């Protein structure tokens, strides 16, 4: 191993499908070692994971970093947002965690919105209108459908909270990740007791919210964990907040993140309060805000279409009249939790490559519609789109975004921005710097730039018309009834 220029730190990205750990030189941002271990998503009728496998994957990813992991001076965990982790009095999971893309709580979401006075009241108070992705709706679903599990639950955590607590033994969270629960109010930056009463939840079952720059604790002695006991542990945060840190994002710069879900966001100095619910008014991991719009169906949905067609994900063909709305897991933007995928406009000359390109177009159309809501109030419409996430490395994703947005695109060279953001947060504990300034010093946003091309308005018009005309089909619930 090359000699490091500064103290080593660990940044962790615990996502839907795997946990990654980066061992990073805090002076230069150089990745000294890395590890990755998978976890599975299961469940009948929903999306669930056993939190124990996240811990096992974290330990394995750290072991893959080698002996140098024991030299780390600090560690930070970033995790998938919104997931509901229920723990019993001994700190063991009561049941598998309900993940962000489990949309079974759509009826509970509708009831909660009504009971607090409607979408505008939620937006002004909480900053967001809760969809089926939000933790508060998942807890309401659990109380309705698994009351014994709810009664056994002594503590509720988010995925990053769970892993941080396994490291330190302390129940903590941060303002960024907790802002996606629905029971933390951005207007007061505290837990909202009225909302907690609505869902029968006592605040003593929730983690303590740490301020930006606080320490969550230190690593406890654990035989399976290749970190030295006493290593500092940062607050950690949600994955989108960590990616913003990893870019060193300044206010007004728009980001498109292409992962299992697609997200569009920007850092803002003003508190978001979108009454339509399209833009979630998240806090960032520092002292600003992260207005974010999300689509459920992104890279995983397009890869599924490619698999059904028996084609490589890059094997697209231009042209064709087919329109595909790849809402395979319902959808969040537009808010269609019961939707399924829809293919329209097939002809004799339609090829598999045309259909695959139509899947990209459908996913990007939804993502750009989400971006428009963020750009309207919180980002500069003239700046390039920063394209990150696994899909950002794919030519088909990049070319489709260029064609449908009509905007220039910049693709950072740094690949693991969530883990790098967590590493920057850990480094800030040691150096006393702002974590975003650490990432800017590391030059994580540097990369390839692509000039704008003329926007394909014809494709956008076809997609918009199909979405409008298919409204009743896309609103059909699991029972077959059309949702109001």
Tell me the two tokens of residue 327: 């809402």
Q: Rounded distance, CA 3 to CA 65, Å? A: 15
* DSSP helix/strand/coil, 435: helix
Write phi, then psi, for 384 (nearest 5 degrees). -65, 155
The Cα-based distances of 131 to 186, 357, 391, 456 in angstroms read 17, 29, 25, 31
* DSSP helix/strand/coil, 386: strand
Mark whether 239 is an active-site residue.
Answer: yes
* DSSP helix/strand/coil, 135: helix
Q: Rounded distance, CA 263 to CA 59, Å? A: 28
Active-site annotation holder among 25, 174, 239, 329: 239
Could you tell me which of 75, 58, 53, 48 has the C-alpha nearest to residue 19? Answer: 58
Could you tell me which of 20, 71, 33, 9 has the C-alpha nearest to residue 433? Answer: 9
From first CA to last CA, the distance across the chain in angstroms is 61
Tell me the two tokens of residue 196: 């907690």
Q: Rounded distance, CA 29 to CA 277, Å? A: 37
Q: Rounded distance, CA 262 to CA 368, Å? A: 10
The single residue listed with the structure tokens 């974590």 is 435
**Hey, which residues are catalytic here?**
239
């Amino acid at each position: 191993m090359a000699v490091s220029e500064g103290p080593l730190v660990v940044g962790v990205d615990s996502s839907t499908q795997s946990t990654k750990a980066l061992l990073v030189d805090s002076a230069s941002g150089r990745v000294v070692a890395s590890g990755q271990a998978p976890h599975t998503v299961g469940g009948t009728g929903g999306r669930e994971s056993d939190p124990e496998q996240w811990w096992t994957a974290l330990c394995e990813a750290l072991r893959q970093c080698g002996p140098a992991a024991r030299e780390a001076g600090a560690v930070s965990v970033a995790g998938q947002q919104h997931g509901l982790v229920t723990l019993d009095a001994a700190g063991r999971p009561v049941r598998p965690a309900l993940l962000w893309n489990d949309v079974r709580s759509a009826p509970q979401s509708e009831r909660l919105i009504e009971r607090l006075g409607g979408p505008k009241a939620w937006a002004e108070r909480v900053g967001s209108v809760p969809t089926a992705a939000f933790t508060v709706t998942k807890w309401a679903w659990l109380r309705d459908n698994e009351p014994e599990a709810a009664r056994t639950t002594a503590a509720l955590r988010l995925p990053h909270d769970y892993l941080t607590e396994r490291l330190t033994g302390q129940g903590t969270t941060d303002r960024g990740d907790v802002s996606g629960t629905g029971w933390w109010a951005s207007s007061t930056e505290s837990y909202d007791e009225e909302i907690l009463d609505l869902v029968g939840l006592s605040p003593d079952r929730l983690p303590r919210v740490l301020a930006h720059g606080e320490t969550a604790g230190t690593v406890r002695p654990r035989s399976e964990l290749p970190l030295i006991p006493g290593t500092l542990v940062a607050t950690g945060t949600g994955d989108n907040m960590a990616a913003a840190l990893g870019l060193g994002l300044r206010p007004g710069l728009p980001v498109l993140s292409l992962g299992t879900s697609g997200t569009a966001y920007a850092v803002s100095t003003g508190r978001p309060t979108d009454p339509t619910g399209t833009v979630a008014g998240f806090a960032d991991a520092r002292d600003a805000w992260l207005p974010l719009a999300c689509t459920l169906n992104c890279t995983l949905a397009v890869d599924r279409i490619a698999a059904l067609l028996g084609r490589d994900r890059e094997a697209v063909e231009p042209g064709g009249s087919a329109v595909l709305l790849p809402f395979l897991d319902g959808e969040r933007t537009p808010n269609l939790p019961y939707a399924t995928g829809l293919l329209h406009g097939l002809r004799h000359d339609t090829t598999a490559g045309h259909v695959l390109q139509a899947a990209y177009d459908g996913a990007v159309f939804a993502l750009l519609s989400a971006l428009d809501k963020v750009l309207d109030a919180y980002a500069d419409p003239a700046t390039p789109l920063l394209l990150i996430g696994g899909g950002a490395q794919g030519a088909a994703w990049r070319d489709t975004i260029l064609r449908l947005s009509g905007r220039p695109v910049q693709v950072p060279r740094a690949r693991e921005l969530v883990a790098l953001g967590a590493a920057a947060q850990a480094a800030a504990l040691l150096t006393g710097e702002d974590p975003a300034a650490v990432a800017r010093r590391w030059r994580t946003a540097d990369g390839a730039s692509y000039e704008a091309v003329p926007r394909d308005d014809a494709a956008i018009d076809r997609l918009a018309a199909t979405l409008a005309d298919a409204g009743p089909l896309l609103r059909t619930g699991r029972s077959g009834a059309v949702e109001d």
